[in-house]
Amino acid sequence: MEFTFGGKYKLEEEIGYGGCGSVFMGTHTIAGKEVAIKVESANAKHSMLKQESRIYKTLMGGPGVPWMMWSGKQGDYNVLIIDLLGPSLEDLFRICNKHFTLKTVLLLADQMLSLVEFIHSRDWVHRDIKPANFLMGPDVYSNSRPSSCDRVNVIDFGLAKKYTNTRTGEHIKNTQCDSHGVGTPLFASINTHKGEDCSRRDDLESLAYTLIYFLRGTLPWRKVKPPPDADKNPKLAWDKILTAKLAAEASGVITAGLPTEFDIFFRYVRGLAFEDLPDYEGCRKLFRDLAKTENFEYDGVFDWTVVGERVWRRSSQRRSVSGSGTGSERRHRFCEACAARAAMQTESQSLPLSRRS
């Protein structure tokens, strides 16, 4: 049986799933353009997908934000159709044996800071910044490397929230609630754990944890086991991780052994007040200066890039991804390329984490 959504997008195999529902590949029945179709039960008490589609409408067109082709309710489902992208940074991190070199992390940091800045410039906080919510894809705006796949894209706006008052445009006031944090405990900010509202600083703190995770291969609270009653009361698990985060912060272990710039960045975002406008450009400069010292080029060559192999090709159609084979084959080939690159990496290419104190 064949399912078609939005009148013209044929549903194909499942490519991902999450708390909200499933994500499938799909194809435009006439143009052949491949898309990602996110599907949620229409019976959901609180529709994350409706919220997500409202946010895509205000963000799409921004660099690194997938284009939304269609959203709506069809039968028993709420549906969102967006650009099909490549693997997530979490996928690639695993493929690269849970370690990214300093160069890759700095290349990612530059784009991720700009992405977060863009979301904030449209008055949203993402509230679930983590490696799984950044997907690689082609840069549809760049003519210099049309066939590359070196653009970081951000997805999953189901938890995003306005940090400004829609009527007055003023920053919302910080409200303390008794609930546990929002987002993903591993990457959530300390203030979020404490039940404070999220603002721009919290997305940046999650970004700091993400970058540190890439360099270290883990985070100090990664192995904290949930207490026995956490199923009934998730706050217990969140609180246990909060205790571990605070202890790690106090002991300085979070950034120990990493280049000083990561400690500066972490301390900077931890020091931001609820309504502060972060200095995104200053943060980018901090990391760019480090890249300069290390003689790294912003050349779009990541740990998983196999030089000379181009898996994604831009078609003449704007924002579309083309290439031979089905989309899943291409996704697979891209991952194979990453694996090959990871296997080629030698110890000497890896960042000596103890290089600086």
Ligand X SMILES: Nc1ncnc2c1ncn2[C@@H]1O[C@H](COP(=O)(O)OP(=O)(O)OP(=O)(O)O)[C@@H](O)[C@H]1O
From the candidates 83, 91, 110, 128, give the one annotated as an active-site residue: 128
Applying CB under 6 A, does 282 fall inside the site for ligand X? no
Other Cβ atoms within 10 Å of 30 Cβ, number: 7
Q: Which one of 6, 18, 72, 257 is in contact with ligand X (CB under 6 A)?
A: 18
Residue 128: active-site member? yes
Judged by CB under 6 A, does residue 156 bind ligand X? yes
Q: Least distance (Å) from ligand X to the CB of residue 57?
A: 16
Distance, CA of 353 to CA of 260 (rounded, Å): 11
Judge contact between 113 and 156, C-beta under 8 A.
Answer: no
C-alpha to C-alpha distance for 177 and 349, rounded to whole angstroms = 46
CB 162 → ligand X: shortest distance, Å? Answer: 19
- Print the binding letters for residues 37-76 with ligand X: x by CB under 6 A, - otherwise: -x---------------------------x----------
Interaction between residue 342 and ligand X (CB under 6 A): no
Q: Which one of residues 39, 68, 85, 140 is an interface residue with ligand X (CB under 6 A)?
A: 85
Give min distance, CB of 152 to ligand X, in A. 13
Q: Which of 37, 39, 82, 102 binds ligand X (CB under 6 A)?
A: 82
When asked if residue 16 is in the footprint of ligand X (CB under 6 A), the reply is yes
State the nearest-atom distance from the C-beta of 185 to ligand X, in Å.
Answer: 12
Q: Which residues are catalytic?
A: 128
Can you give the binding site for ligand X, defined by CB under 6 A? Answer: 15-21, 23, 36, 38, 66, 82-85, 88, 128, 132-133, 135, 155-156, 158
